[in-house]
Amino acid sequence: MKKRLRLIFAGFCVSFAIMAALSLFALKQFSGLIENSEEVDDTYILISRLYELGNLTKETDILERSYLLTRDSDYLFEMEGLIQKLIPAKDSLGKYISKDPEQKGYAANLGSELVEKRDKVRATILAFDTSMAAPPLALLRDEIAARQRVEQYLSKMRSRAHKALKEHAKVKIYYQEVTFSSIRYLLTIFAFITLVLFFFMIRELKRRMAFQEELQMKVADLKRSHAELEQIAYAVSHDLQEPLRKIQIFSNRLSLKKKDRLDEESILTLDRINSSASRMHELIDDLMNLTNLLQDEHTEPADLNELLQLVLGDLDERIHESGATIQAEVMPVISGHRKQIQLLLRSLIDNALKFAQENKKPVVSIRHDRVNALELRDYNITVPDEQLFDRITIADNGIGFEDKFINKMFQIFQSLHNKESGYSGKGIGLAICQRVMANHGGYIIAHGRPQIGATFRLYFPIKN
């Protein structure tokens, strides 16, 4: 399933990359189309301004001739106004020819010719006003030559602009075709990839729905199995306990009533029967404790100091008999299941008393400190770096164990000591401890040294 999801994700990434590339290409072409359209608009404006400038020079010539023929000062005044507009009109062309060096050269020459034409016109009018006769022929020829040069440069600039306009029109058609093609291909590829991904997503959704149904069936089976387990646990705690009690009662009754008639071997046999029944009774109690840990419970604040005192009160007689010393620091208040934590502490302290060395009084040390997640990495446990833990360390000076047996210790009915060793471990206590820590989202780490002692570290996660 993860492989299929990775394939779908890879397909989505590829499709996104393709669409992004096509989109950037289409955007680039569209930008080129806009830029070309702006240049077309500038070219149209340039042509219009060139015609306006040409008309302005022609009107100037007409007003000059009208003044020379009529000596009407109104023509002279209007002509002078038009002459003053020639150079600004030429300068206004610079905005539209800034990207064309050839047009800029024409415009510079045109400006020079307009200045010369202006000076020639004014010289002709001055000569006419001074002599009150026709201007000199040479002066008129120079003015006509300047006028022709102005017309030549205007014509060249208009021709250049029309040529540029045709080129822009071709480029515009190219950009339009490429842009529309890019958008069409983009939409086609997007539609195709979307349909393919939609098909895969629908198929994956159907598979997940089928998996969900299968999972729900398994959950139902698990609940049914759990209910059966509870029934079995009930039968164990009630139906099997009763025969054990009767075995103990009858063996005790037999040993009391027939005590004088029984030989030593028979008495020893009855004691073994009674001892085995008691041990079986304890095993059933431990199995019940382990089974009850599977049930969900609501968490609540649990004061470990209070729970520790309850455990020490339950074990007071054993502590007194063994002469044990319990050294406990101040414990924190954590969020958890009070009964489970009490069972956890009882199991660990009970083990410390049970597996004490001969001729050596037990010493049990219980400490608390706060640590971060880095410490658990040494045990190949991966947790977020920012997670903090309340670490409870329970250490004793008992017979200890070798670290190679750590994994075996936490398995149910796995004991490191046989019956002949003199230690009565049943192989359930540490399995209960591990289950309790798992229910709290924590960890239990064990470390031992033979004939020196055992250390158990409990890591309870601190919830923010």
pTM tops 0.75, yes or no: no
Among 203, 221, 251, which residue terminates a domain? 203
**165 occurs within a structural domain:** yes
pLDDT digits (tens, 9 = 90+) for 230-242: 666 666 666 666 6
Name residue, tokens 């120079």.
142
* Same domain as 141, residue 13: yes
Name residue, tokens 């103990």.
248
Supply the CATH number for residue 321's domain.
Answer: 3.30.565.10
Output b/e per residue, 137-174; b: 16+ Cβ within 10 A.
eeeeebbeebbebbeebbebbbebbeebeeebeebbee
**54 occurs within a structural domain:** yes
* Same domain as 48, residue 73: yes
* Same domain as 303, residue 287: no
> Using an 8 Å Cβ cutoff, are 181 and 17 in contact?
no
Q: Nearest Cα to 106, choosing from 94, 89, 118, 120?
A: 94
* Same domain as 93, residue 151: yes
* Same domain as 70, residue 170: yes
**265 occurs within a structural domain:** yes
Distance CA 422, CA 137 (A): 146
Distance CA 284, CA 425 (A): 14
**228 occurs within a structural domain:** no
Give the containing element (helix H, strand E) for 463: none
Instruction: Give the three-class secondary structure for 39.
Output: helix
* Same domain as 188, residue 41: yes
Residues contacting 353, CB < 8 A, separation 6+: 315, 318, 319, 322, 324, 362, 364
Supply the CATH number for residue 150's domain.
Answer: 1.20.120.1730
pLDDT by residue for the chain (464 residues), tens only, comes to 566 667 666 766 776 777 677 677 667 766 776 777 777 788 888 888 888 888 888 888 888 888 878 878 888 888 888 888 888 888 888 888 888 888 888 888 888 888 888 888 888 777 777 776 666 777 778 778 888 888 888 888 888 888 888 887 777 777 777 777 777 777 787 778 778 777 877 887 888 888 888 888 887 877 777 666 666 666 666 666 667 677 777 777 777 776 667 677 777 777 777 777 766 766 666 666 656 665 555 778 899 999 999 999 988 988 888 899 999 999 999 988 888 888 889 889 988 888 888 888 999 999 999 998 888 887 888 888 888 999 999 999 988 888 777 777 777 655 555 554 444 555 677 888 888 888 888 999 999 888 889 999 999 998 86
The phi and psi torsions of 428 (rounded to 5 degrees) equal -120, -30
pLDDT digits (tens, 9 = 90+) for 426-436: 567 788 888 88
Give the containing element (helix H, strand E) for 444: strand 443-449
Helices (H), 92-136: 101-131
**248 occurs within a structural domain:** yes
Give the whole-number percent of the chain exceeding pLDDT 70: 80
Q: What is the torsional sign of CA 150, 156, 161, 165?
A: positive
Among 177, 203, 229, which residue terminates a domain? 203
**22 occurs within a structural domain:** yes
* Same domain as 404, residue 308: yes
Residue type (1 letter), 363: V
* Same domain as 158, residue 21: yes
* Same domain as 302, residue 281: no
* Same domain as 154, residue 14: yes
Domain count, the chain: 3
Instruction: Give the three-class secondary structure for 389.
Output: strand
Distance CA 5, CA 16 (A): 16
* Same domain as 262, residue 378: no
* Same domain as 25, residue 155: yes
Give the whole-number percent of the chain exceeding pLDDT 90: 11
Domain that holds residue 266: 240-292
Tally Cβ neighbours within 10 Å of residue 203: 12
